Amino acid sequence: MKVSFFTIKLWEKEYLENKLEKSKLKLEPEYFKEKLDKDHLPKNKDAEIISVFVDSEVNKEVIHAFPNLKLIVARSTGYDHIDLKEAAKRKISVTYVPDYGENTVAEFTFALILALSRKILKAHEQIRKTGSFSQENLQGFDLKGKTIGVVGTGRIGKNTIRIANGFGMNVIAYDIQPEKKLEKLLNFKFVSFKELLKTSDIVTLHVPYIKATHHLMNHDTLQLMKKGAYLINTARGQVVETEALVKALKDGSLGGAGLDVLEEENVTCDELQFVLGGHPEEHNLRTVLENHILIEMPNVVVTPHNAFNTKEALERILDTTIKNIESFQIGKLINEAK
């Protein structure tokens, strides 16, 4: 079967080639550095399998560009960048990677928390730019004894709870389908979403981006948060309403935010392309500008969707990708996106 891998770095290509050579898979692989979307279609479109990262946009137009397509393999936990309904119409299977980064993203969550709680970036910039070792205006706060509210207790949420316990924090959590048995096992308590927001010193988001979680954190929910609390988002940018977040930070309702994801983050990262060849009707320009405001705020840490990015996690993604393709070939599909 012909398979096209998109957004592939050189080391990933070498890793896949080595793994595929040792496997029993009968594949004709092709590798592309570029992402896949309607503006970045390959000349050769006869692939039966395509494998994409989160930066690709596999919509109706892209799906129909591949007449022989049978399987779409997402190299990510989220798959909102793939049109599942259109794939289903074409009887194209879609798979994803459910558990490559549960510890990886949880660890990064605490990297953001510590960067904010101990003003690490401000201290580093002070020394780098001025050479001053003054501790003036660098006072932080302990995590021990603080209440952290974990929104979403899936694989990443569970690991976040474990780490929070290691810091001696009081852990509460909200999940739309709470597993009560976890409370005793992981030493935390399930509470309502409203109670979590009102009582947490730090709120961290670990939910998928679906219709129900769009702007989960909006003007109303942000105003419910404890005054001076911190918001951490390593989930998806669209879970937080940017305009409402900017206002809450500016008026002092929130103490700060750690954001690995932003609304319209692809545009924010590639403004030249947006200005020269973008389609303004497809993007919220106000959100793009508000992202810039967030980046400049001293009580906000913004990173470039990097929580997943460790060698070990990326290798787990590639290993699961191969397993997903293998399961399809033998007719026993695993990790199917629905």
202 in a domain, yes or no? yes
Which H helix or E strand runs over 325?
helix 311-329
Rounded Cα gap, residues 29 and 21, in angstroms? 11
The answer to whether the beta carbons of residues 304 and 269 sit under 8 Å apart is: yes
Neighbouring residues of 62: CB distance < 8 A, sequence distance ≥ 6: 36, 37, 38, 41
Q: Tens of pLDDT along 142-162?
A: 999 999 999 999 999 999 999
334 in a domain, yes or no? no
Identify the CATH number of the domain in which residue 76 sits. Answer: 3.40.50.720
**From the candidates 48, 102, 264, 265, which is the catalytic residue?**
265
In DSSP notation, 136-182 reads TT------TT-EEEEE--SHHHHHHHHHHHHTT-EEEEE-SS--THH
CA quadruple 198, 200, 206, 211: dihedral, nearest 10: 10
Q: What is the mean pLDDT of residues 244-263?
A: 95
Number of domains in the chain: 2
Residue 81 appears among annotated catalytic residues: no
In the predicted model, is pLDDT for residue 21 greater than 50? yes
Domain span at residue 238 reads 102-302
Please state, rounded to an integer, the average pLDDT across all residues of the chain.
92
Q: What is the mean pLDDT of residues 107-115?
A: 98
Residue 305 appears among annotated catalytic residues: yes
**From the candidates 155, 206, 305, 316, which is the catalytic residue?**
305
Which one has a higher pLDDT value, 77 or 136? Answer: 136
Residues 109 and 12 in one domain: no
138 in a domain, yes or no? yes
Residues 127 and 49 in one domain: no
Sheet with 202-205, edge to edge strand ranges: 189-190, 170-174, 147-151, 202-205, 229-233, 254-259, 300-302
Residue 283 appears among annotated catalytic residues: no
**From the candidates 75, 81, 236, 316, which is the catalytic residue?**
236
Residues 79 and 107 in one domain: no
- Quote the pTM value: 0.84
91 in a domain, yes or no? yes
Q: What is the DSSP letter of 203?
A: E
Residues 287 and 267 in one domain: yes
322 in a domain, yes or no? yes
> Residue 288 is encoded by which pair of tokens?
């793009």
Residues 146 and 259 in one domain: yes
Residues 116 and 81 in one domain: no
